[in-house]
Structure 1
């Protein structure tokens, strides 16, 4: 019996128990294997439920449970870090035929996944508002903290995410979703499409004054800079860069 055959049998509830599985006395262990198989599926479904609560809310618990059963068999974990299971879930949603009428779902899933990435990212010493008052603050290279992420979406993804978890109904159109983490809990803030150009430039070491020149006309610079500072997003260029 190969490792791949064992994994395939674990993930498929209809697959037969692999040949050659016995206990210390040489007796078949079909019952034990079925319990183990069920526990693995339950654990992976719970990880997805915890990692993508907005998706579960938007689709309903019953549909989510059935769909994640399909997903986990096609996309078993590739890392022992179960808290970050679901990296390919957004792409799966994009190709899942029953959800073709909900084209915003993959971006909501991407947002939820990067929220988890932010939560588990390394800590960094953020620049304070006082430090940014220095005359050379606009011309020195900066970086973004490892906990900072962003995605571009054709939909108001931060609002859809919030609405799915009990917030107000979404309005407006596409946005750049900025994820920051000042302490322990990441926060997603929506900005006009194209704001990612500023973030990409900052993370490449472009001085703040130059990076802001790339901002879309609709960007409220005061609100954007406030989100960066209160979110602990800016760090010295000598510290580790965001990946």
Structure 2
């Protein structure tokens, strides 16, 4: 690797490193003491390729949907705008969904951003802290008149993706089940609950109103408040079914009663 000039060259080096159009920073020299544009270009290309590969590992469904060539071009555009903030590459890409959403050439594919959001949350859930999910039987020990005042503590791996697109189906066939013969209707909105009670991340398609219900519970609302909110927006909301889904999935680790 070429040596970095000692003055303000580090900032210039970092800026030029992710911009293929930038020239070689002034003062950058190779082992022979001469200006080293070829060495710098090789190093820059290796860095950009590594970041693009990291994005491909994090967003394989997006890569499958776009194809390798388009994804790599998109990844390079992202890298130029969003340099990594951490040396840990598995955390690179937090802004990718927003970037995809605002990328003009992809405006005819508005579902891609939500696919990216689901994949990013999957990564966060996979690496979230371990914690034992609550025993669903805990609610049975609470007096009936107090159940509505219960507040839940979300598991560190619990995440919710609310989409007006069939985001779970798109991720299934482009990442987890590529051989699945699944008909996908882009007119079908899907909201997804993500948990990791043990080693693997689990994805659940939520029932009508389940997304509003879970979002309210995760925001600290009581069981009664969350149920009323969901019922007001979805007449077909079933408290017993949605609560059972949340508890059996391991989305919560404990409860407290708001007295």
Give the TM-score normalised by structure 2: 0.81
Contact 1:175 1:193 in 2 (8 A): no
Which residue is equivalent to 1:142? 152
> Could you say what secondary structure the match of 1:141 adopts?
strand
For residue 242 of structure 2, the aligned residue among 205, 219, 224 is 224
1:159 aligned onto 2:173: no
| Deviates most, 131-140 or 6-15 | 131-140
Which residue is equivalent to 1:98? 105
Which residue is equivalent to 2:222? 207
1:73 aligned onto 2:80: yes
| Deviates most, 157-166 or 229-238 | 229-238
| Deviates most, 79-88 or 137-146 | 137-146
2-structure distance, mates of 1:39, 1:231: 42
1:111 aligned onto 2:118: yes
2-structure distance, mates of 1:67, 1:141: 43
> Could you say what secondary structure the match of 1:143 adopts?
strand
1:126 deviation in Å? Answer: 1.5
Give the TM-score normalised by structure 1: 0.85
Change in CA separation of 1:97 and 1:91 when aligned onto 2, cut-off 3 Å: same
1:234 aligned onto 2:252: yes
Structure 2 unaligned regions, length at least 5:
1-7
The structure whose Rg is larger is 2
1-structure distance, mates of 2:90, 2:168: 22
Which residue is equivalent to 1:28? 35
* Per-residue deviation, residues 30-51 of structure 1 (Å, max 9, x unmatched): 3432232122111111111011
| Deviates most, 202-211 or 41-50 | 202-211
* Per-residue deviation, residues 82-120 of structure 1 (Å, max 9, x unmatched): 212111111211222221111111111111111111112
Q: CA RMSD in A?
A: 2.4
Contact 2:130 2:156 in 1 (8 A): yes
Contact 1:160 1:169 in 2 (8 A): no
> Could you say what secondary structure the match of 2:236 adopts?
coil
1-structure distance, mates of 2:82, 2:205: 30
Which residue is equivalent to 2:3? none
Q: What is the number of residues matched between the two proteins?
A: 238
Which residue is equivalent to 2:139? 132
1:209 deviation in Å? Answer: 4.4
1:186 deviation in Å? Answer: 1.8
Equivalent residue runs for 1:42-61 within 5 Å: 42-61=49-68
1:170 aligned onto 2:188: no
Contact 1:114 1:149 in 2 (8 A): yes
